[in-house]
């Protein structure tokens, strides 16, 4: 048992038509400073995962996305916070990603994800992405 704060985080693995994945580098101040991540953020009251992800991606990158298939949920306890990352594939509907709330943005191949410094909770997400044979259709919604 612990009394850590518990957060639900909506997280997007945005894939483009070339099969590249968008990652962003967090700012050099605040939680997990300078770590690379999949863009996203905290649920607001009354939101579901898809709504949270669409809103966060608009705020952080200035783009509109369609949320696709659910990849996984990851529960992780950090020393200061306990959280669940709710991870969905997504695809850009309109706009060019901008660094509105992050330090840097990159499009990378799935195999390149291992070269970046991600928070501890992300390693099983990266493993699962890299285990997929193809990312085709991953951004179509679950049916």
The residue ranges that bind Mg ion (CB under 5 A) are 41
Distance of CA 76 to the CA centre of its chain: 15
Task: State how beta strands 64-77 and 82-94 pair.
Answer: antiparallel
| Residue, CB closest to ligand 8DG | 41
Q: Which residues, listed in sequence order, are joined to residue 50 by a DSSP beta bridge?
A: none
Alpha helices, DSSP H, located in the chain: 49-61, 123-131
Q: Binding of ligand 8DG at residue 88 (CB under 6 A)?
A: no
Judged by beta carbon, residue 77 or residue 111, the one nearer ligand 8DG is: 77
Return the structure tokens found at 64: 């509109």
Distance of CA 139 to the CA centre of its chain: 13
Q: Binding of ligand 8DG at residue 41 (CB under 6 A)?
A: yes
How many chain residues bind ligand 8DG (CB under 6 A)? 17
Judged by beta carbon, residue 1 or residue 79, the one nearer ligand 8DG is: 79
Binding-site member from 61, 121, 126, 129 for ligand 8DG (CB under 6 A): 121
């Amino acid at each position: 048992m612990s009394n850590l704060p518990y957060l639900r985080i909506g997280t997007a693995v945005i894939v483009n038509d070339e099969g590249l994945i968008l990652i962003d580098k967090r700012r050099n101040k605040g939680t997990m400073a300078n770590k690379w991540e999949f863009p996203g953020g905290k649920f607001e009251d009354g939101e579901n995962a898809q709504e949270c992800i669409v809103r966060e991606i608009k705020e952080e990158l200035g783009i509109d996305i369609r949320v696709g298939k659910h990849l996984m949920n990851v529960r992780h306890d950090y020393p200061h916070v306990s959280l669940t990352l709710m991870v969905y594939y997504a695809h850009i509907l309109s706009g060019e990603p901008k660094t509105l709330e992050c330090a840097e943005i990159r499009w990378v191949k799935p195999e390149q994800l291992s070269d970046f410094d991600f928070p501890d909770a992300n390693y099983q997400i990266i493993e699962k992405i890299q285990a997929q044979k193809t990312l085709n259709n991953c951004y179509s919604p679950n049916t």
